[in-house]
Amino acid sequence: MASSSSLTLSQAIFSPSLPRHGSSSSSSPSLSFSTFSGLKSTPFTSSHRRILTSTTVTKQQFSVRASAAVETLEKTDAAIVEKSVNTIRFLAIDAVEKANSGHPGLPMGCAPMGHILYDEVMKYNPKNPYWFNRDRFVLSAGHGCMLQYALLHLAGYDSVQEDDLKSFRQWGSRIPGHPENFETPGVEVTTGPLGQGIANAVGLAVAEKHLAARFNKPDAEIVDHYTYVILGDGCQMEGISNEACSLAGHWGLGKLIAFYDDNHISIDGDTEIAFTEDVSARFESLGWHVIWVKNGNTGYDEIRAAIKEAKAVKDKPTMIKVTTTIGFGSPNKANSYSVHGSALGAKEVEATRNNLGWPYEPFHVPEDVKSHWSRHTPEGAALETEWNAKFAEYEKKYPEEAADLKSIITGELPAGWEKALPTYTPESPADATRNLSQQNLNALAKVLPGFLGGSADLASSNMTLLKMFGDFQKNTPEERNLRFGVREHGMGAICNGIALHSLGLIPYCATFFVFTDYMRGAMRISALSEAGVIYVMTHDSIGLGEDGPTHQPIEHLASFRAMPNILMFRPADGNETAGAYKVAVLKRKTPSILALSRQKLPQLAGTSIEGAAKGGYIVSDNSSGNKPDVILIGTGSELEIAVKAAEELKKEGKTVRVVSFVCWELYDEQSSEYKESVLPSSVTARVSIEAGSTFGWQKFVGDKGKAIGVDGFGASAPADKIYKEFGITAEAVVAAAKQVS
């Protein structure tokens, strides 16, 4: 049992990301698995990470020390720290210089805090970047990615070798221009778009707090890590960071520690020109503990003391404002925007080498620095081994909890989970798909241990409450209903963090479909970073009625159909809603959006979970030989209209096929034979109907077909009236069908 389960676990957590474009296929990580011991509980020998001499410690000793390490923060020899910090600076300088592209300023300024985090504070296993109980680090100021790459390189991650540093920002490189979790093992989330990272970090800390509350026992602290984040002035200005940080304070995420790189420079120059608020006071108002390190350039002990203090505050997240000099060490460019986003140039690199007393060739890591960092590989392996042993014990004592946690860690779903999905017949009561969605959510929460989520203050409209659970709150973090408040963008990014914490955490989040406009930045990062968030988006068309055009999505379906790696579902009834959820749960590396109706819809004959999973499928057809007179295509609430129109046309003797196009992206994945069986090329008489923009529909209706939709803004009135006035009716479909056939 132990060995088979550990195998599963190791397979899952090592699963590399799918190649996303030409470059990544040639850059799949070649991880060394040698030190990984799965969940096997084996004795181990290791030098303690904080003690440089090699000492054999007993398991118990280690355990105590490992958890106490962060409080100790013993000072390493000052000279080697300084040298290590300058190594980080020059790796960044050299890589940017070679690429002639990138951002050297932040790594030069943040090298001290980066060094202390990766060398003295964080627990991780460089040879298994996916070890579950590692501390998480997020560089929210993602443009400074060379800081993180340099640290991963020194720490011994296989993903960042010297050759990688030399190929920074080049085709096929494993270290792209901004941190990407799917390219570089060791990078937790994808950052660069400002503010996303701090919100992701909130999500990572939510995941830890939730899992710790659910799974830790008085005798087994099996979930226990910190989340660290570095954010800059840019992140601080973004609204998303205020949203996420307000929630972090509300939730009391004591194990979230944010370093605010306060360097007073952004791209346009001194932050005085646009950013004069009192950030520390704002964070205090948000319920954070705030510490100010006034000398972030050389004040190592101040940084260490701040981290110690932050860890002592257990009921609040901590923001450590670290005042630094951007481009520290560059005699002529430090403290100016010119060092933010461009290579220093050969002359200034030389001047910086002289200024910091750095005699080495580009990309050189001095031997003593190398040697100093080399302990992280055995220590990291030991940490993981110890944790695996702990887990094995835990599994013996608490088999049910262990099974759930294992499912969450590996992403392996419990056998037969999909049987929980509800099915419907035409006799089932008509209902809004938002309500049918709630039936699915509640069914899934019962069988999927990592299923949790909530709404941006619209739970009672989005129908997203899990009835068997309470609210995830500061003092009830074991619960699974997240209350995001009216913070859509923060919500999406927090869910990205939750999803990327563990493969089996399946977060969903909800608002009105039109307000995806508020969270699109986070949704795109879901798609790019392969975070399988489920977006439950109700009130999906003019069918919401009286709230009017500000609340009625029009172009939103098209806008997501055009976005890579995201599934845009628009189910028509209960079976299709269940089908959408089935795929959404299975696709752990692709986010899904469900556009759901506010209004009641009938359960239609011919719909099915299997059909929905194909994206487009035949719902009804009275023709033979794959040659109907006309094909009517509908989605969501308009499939009913297509069905009604078909009835009319059939009465007039026509052969009619009705096709449901619940998810274009899934349909595109089907074989050409299947597609030909649904939309035969010989049948050009095609009419689509969808209460949204017709943009893109020509792809399916073709040059000779007709797309019925809404290409202007909506209106405030009862839904039925708007449908009629806008011509989204069976009559319009019948007329169009006659026109094209």
Would you please indicate which residues are annotated as catalytic (active-site) residues? 488
Please report whether residue 194 would count as binding a second copy according to CB under 8 A: yes
- From 16, 331, 357, 564, residue interacting with a second copy (rule: CB under 8 A): 564
Q: Is 616 annotated as a binding residue?
A: no
What's the CA gap between 336 and 342, in Å, rounded? 11
> Do the beta carbons of residue 513 and residue 560 sit within 8 Å?
no
Please report whether residue 104 would count as binding a second copy according to CB under 8 A: no
What's the CA gap between 573 and 421, in Å, rounded? 13
Q: Cα dist. 337→270, 331, 416, 627 in Å?
A: 8, 14, 57, 66
Please report whether residue 266 would count as binding a second copy according to CB under 8 A: yes
Structure tokens that stand for 107 in this block:
């790594």
Q: Of 387-446, which residues contact a second copy (CB under 8 A)?
A: none
Please report whether residue 680 would count as binding a second copy according to CB under 8 A: no
Q: Is 103 annotated as a binding residue?
A: yes
Please report whether residue 676 would count as binding a second copy according to CB under 8 A: no
Q: How far is the CB of 465 from a second copy (least distance, A)?
A: 9
Please report whether residue 712 would count as binding a second copy according to CB under 8 A: yes
Residue 172 CB neighbours (<10 A)? 11
Q: Of 485-504, which residues contact a second copy (CB under 8 A)?
A: 485-490
Is 485 buried (19+), middle (13-18) or exposed (0-12) by CB count in 10 A? Answer: middle
Q: Of 214-233, which residues contact a second copy (CB under 8 A)?
A: 233
Please report whether residue 364 would count as binding a second copy according to CB under 8 A: no
Please report whether residue 268 would count as binding a second copy according to CB under 8 A: yes
Q: In this complex, which beta carbon is closest to a second copy, that of residue 102 or of residue 574?
A: 102
Q: Of 124-163, which residues contact a second copy (CB under 8 A)?
A: 142
What's the CA gap between 452 and 506, in Å, rounded? 6
Q: Of 455-474, which residues contact a second copy (CB under 8 A)?
A: 455, 457-461, 471, 473
Q: In this complex, which beta carbon is closest to a second copy, that of residue 86 or of residue 688?
A: 688
Q: Is 547 annotated as a binding residue?
A: yes
Q: How far is the CB of 670 from a second copy (least distance, A)?
A: 17
Angle 392-186-183 from CA coordinates, rounded to 5°:
125
Please report whether residue 255 would count as binding a second copy according to CB under 8 A: no
Q: In this complex, which beta carbon is closest to a second copy, that of residue 378 or of residue 705?
A: 705
Q: How far is the CB of 684 from a second copy (least distance, A)?
A: 8
Q: Of 313-342, which residues contact a second copy (CB under 8 A)?
A: 337
Q: How far is the CB of 605 from a second copy (least distance, A)?
A: 31
Is 274 buried (19+), middle (13-18) or exposed (0-12) by CB count in 10 A? Answer: exposed
Sheet strand arrangement including 256-262: 136-139, 227-232, 256-262, 318-323, 289-293
Q: In this complex, which beta carbon is closest to a second copy, that of residue 297 or of residue 635?
A: 635
Residue 239 CB neighbours (<10 A)? 12
What's the CA gap between 662 and 614, in Å, rounded? 9
Nearest alpha carbon to residue 259 among 318, 197, 337, 190:
318
Q: How far is the CB of 554 from a second copy (least distance, A)?
A: 6
Please report whether residue 517 would count as binding a second copy according to CB under 8 A: yes
What's the CA gap between 123 and 68, in Å, rounded? 11
Q: How far is the CB of 189 from a second copy (least distance, A)?
A: 11
Please name the residue ranges forming H helices in 574-689.
Answer: 574-586, 609-613, 639-651, 664-669, 672-678
Element (H, E) at 266: strand 265-266
Q: How far is the CB of 508 from a second copy (least distance, A)?
A: 16
- From 71, 162, 277, 669, residue interacting with a second copy (rule: CB under 8 A): 277
Please report whether residue 565 would count as binding a second copy according to CB under 8 A: yes
Dihedral sign, Cα of residue 403, residue 404, residue 410, residue 416: positive
- From 275, 292, 398, 469, residue interacting with a second copy (rule: CB under 8 A): 275
Structure tokens that stand for 497 in this block:
């963090």
Residue 416 CB neighbours (<10 A)? 8
Which residues are known binding-site members for thiamine diphosphate? 143, 192-194, 234, 263, 340, 515
Q: Which residues are annotated as a binding site for substrate?
A: 103, 340, 434, 461, 539, 547, 551, 598
